[in-house]
Amino acid sequence: MIRLSLVGDVCLGKQNFQFNAQEIFHPQVNFALGNLETPLPAAGMAKRPKAGPNIKGYGDQLQQLQRQYPNWILTVANNHAMDYGWEGLQHTREQCEAVPFRCLGGGQADQQAKAPIMIDQDGIRIGILARCETQFGVASEFRPGVAALDSYLHQDIQTLKQDCDIVLLSIHAGAEICPWPSPQWQNYLKSLIDAGADIIHGHHSHVPQGYELYKQGIIFYGVGNFIANPKLWSRHRHGTWSLVPTLTIENNQLTHAIKTVVLESHGDEIIIRSSTPQEAQIHQHYLDQCNAPLQEPDLLDSVWQEASVQMYKSFYGDYLELSRSERKTKFRPVPFARKHLGRLKRKLTNSPSQKQLLLWYHLFACETHRDVIATALGVLGGELEDKRTEQSRAIVQEMMPRMVV
């Protein structure tokens, strides 16, 4: 028998953290798998140019993680692992492996980055693959970086399945702060189950997303933040709790149990604890709202279109400089001047800045960003049938209240 717990994003910042592994996982859990969101660069390592923030964690917090629970597997296939370049990612891997924690999803070239790891226990073998959407620092044949989605993933799963009882895919993808996958993403992940995957462990959304059983497998679209600074995520109603599924493999059967856990700040320390019965009831209502559209294609189309249009109006239109957000914001003279002087300069010189070019690259290269933008423009432009309803608007307003404009 093997028991494996899944957690979401693990951010090893300056704050210490505490959790009771026996309470949150299972007294007899063999391994825990999480996404190491923060690279662990050495002092003096330089940030690499990209769109979005360059974040970092602190290697000494790995010892704290080990004290809380010893048997970690960490994936670095994500959009921040290369924030300090290959030097930073290599240093991250070396520190993890020195603990020792097993680490996958990044390497000196794509073959190493995409390599699976194996877990053998009581005659059962689990093969684990890690991938992310196209982000900054993707590995290629002669370039170090992280393992991204590509056309060989189905084949990789089929090959791994020949050597394993269970194939687990840990994948960093999806729309941030959105409770649902897109219909296209749902279909794609189901196709990975069809190819031989048994468990899909999703993260990146920073809020819990839905989950569903499909054929012989189970898909967790996004499990949320596991270790993160609650003060940074409290502005999002569902940014400070997450799912912790525990999978049990015994007698060729895969079963699961799901707990929800809460992030709290206690002075300078982060506490991760099990939900109270009242909190668990609130979480279950939220998860019901996440899960219902997964079983109703028309409802998923409807809420995804609504969420995409709202995200486009809130920020994607401004990022693309194709529209102005209609949402009223507090006027700040200096940022306003910088933004519009920058636009004027680009119009006069017809020369976008590197920062702007990298942002546009990010929007067109990343599968989810393309999906959101294409859906919103298709609906607003009349190319796609508008399936939004009063029901879908009410659901999105309830689930994504900061987004609706």
Q: Is residue 125 pLDDT above 80, yes or no?
A: yes
pLDDT given at position 380: 97
Cα dist from 77 to 68, 206, 371, whole Å? 23, 16, 20
Under the phi-then-psi rule, with left for phi > 0, alpha for psi from -120 to 50, and beta for the rest, what region is 376?
Answer: alpha
3-state SS class at 211: strand
Spell out the domain ranges in the chain. Answer: 2-295, 299-399
Residue 171 gets the label, from left (phi > 0), alpha (psi -120 to 50) or beta, of beta
Residue 283 has pLDDT above 60, yes or no: yes
The answer as to CATH 3.60.21 being correct for domain 2-295 is yes
Q: Average of pLDDT values for 48-71?
A: 96
Q: State how far the Cα of 20 lies from the Cα of 13, in Å rounded to an integer.
A: 19
Q: For 31, how many CA atoms within 13 A lie in the half-sphere containing its CB?
A: 23
Please check the confidence at residue 83 and state whether its pLDDT lies above 90: yes
Q: Taking 50 as the threshold, does the pLDDT of residue 326 lie above it?
A: no
Half-sphere exposure of 255 toward its Cβ, with a 13 Å CA cutoff? 6
Residue, of 402 and 160, whose pLDDT is higher:
160
320 pLDDT more than 60: yes
Angle at 327 between CA 374 and CA 234, to 5 degrees: 90
pLDDT of 336 higher than 80: no
What is the reported pTM? 0.93
Provide the pLDDT confidence category of residue 340 given band limits of 50, 70 and 90.
low
Long-range contact list for 17-23, CB < 8 A, 24+ apart? 17/61, 17/64, 17/68, 17/227, 17/269, 17/270, 17/271, 17/272, 18/68, 18/269, 18/270, 18/271, 18/272, 19/68, 19/69, 19/261, 19/271, 19/272, 19/273, 20/273, 21/68, 21/69, 23/273, 23/274
Instruction: Report the 10 Å Cβ neighbour count for 73.
Output: 21
